[in-house]
Amino acid sequence: MEFQHDKSWEKLLTILNSKKNIEEAWNNFIDFHEQIAAKSYWTLLRELDIQKEQSAIKEWLEQIITTSPITENVAALWIGITKMPHETDHEIPIVYLAGADTYDKDDIEWACNPTYLPENRYACFDVLMQLDKVIKNDEENYEFLDWIFPLAYCAFTLDEIIRLKLNKKLFLKNTQNLFVATGYDSGDY
């Protein structure tokens, strides 16, 4: 069988909306894809230390907001996923934090005009780097895997951090609520 973008997207949303912890969400997502195609790398993806990295991501987010407080006009935060050139002559996956003074859950254009661009907004998550190394070995499915798995990882881990671990007072100093989205600069979120 082949992977289907729409089915994988639906599964990602179903798992995300279930509010499962990161390990359960990640393993459920892998299980879904493993049922479609038996691959040797599923075990490697399950072995990624996703729980350990959450502390570093939480600290990164809180450090940014502490040193560059969110301004009053910011209505939403965008945690973008992209690839950047690295000194090794390879592209590496990175994430960054930006904010916008508008938000529309049905139209991501709000994220294209950031009004909040804090210092040290870029981060390189170890899990994304390891994930990229593992999936690159599947040349036939790399484009699909490189789309859905980094997005799923970021969505699941950020969801858990924001819901359960983040110091929300740092983020809500100037507002009662703040929307947060993650996705690719090129579209999917």
Query: What's the confidence (pLDDT) of residue 187?
Result: 58
The three-point CA angle 87-155-150 to 5° equals 35
Which residue in 123, 130, 129 sits closest to 46, CA to CA?
Answer: 130
Query: What's the confidence (pLDDT) of residue 189?
Result: 46
**CA distance linking residue 13 with residue 6, whole number of Å:** 11
**CA distance linking residue 151 with residue 187, whole number of Å:** 11
**CA distance linking residue 112 with residue 115, whole number of Å:** 10
Buried b (16+ CB within 10 A) or exposed e, 46-73: eebebeebbeebbebbbebbeebebeee
pLDDT in tens, 122-159: 999 999 999 999 999 999 999 999 999 999 999 999 99
Residues of the chain with pLDDT under 70: 1, 186-189
Query: What's the confidence (pLDDT) of residue 186?
Result: 64
Which residues touch 166 (CB under 8 Å, ≥6 apart)?
A: 58, 61, 62
44 close to 134: Cβ distance less than 8 angstroms? yes
Going edge to edge, which strands form the sheet with 91-100?
122-123, 91-100, 76-85, 179-184
Query: What's the confidence (pLDDT) of residue 75?
Result: 95
**CA distance linking residue 100 with residue 69, whole number of Å:** 14
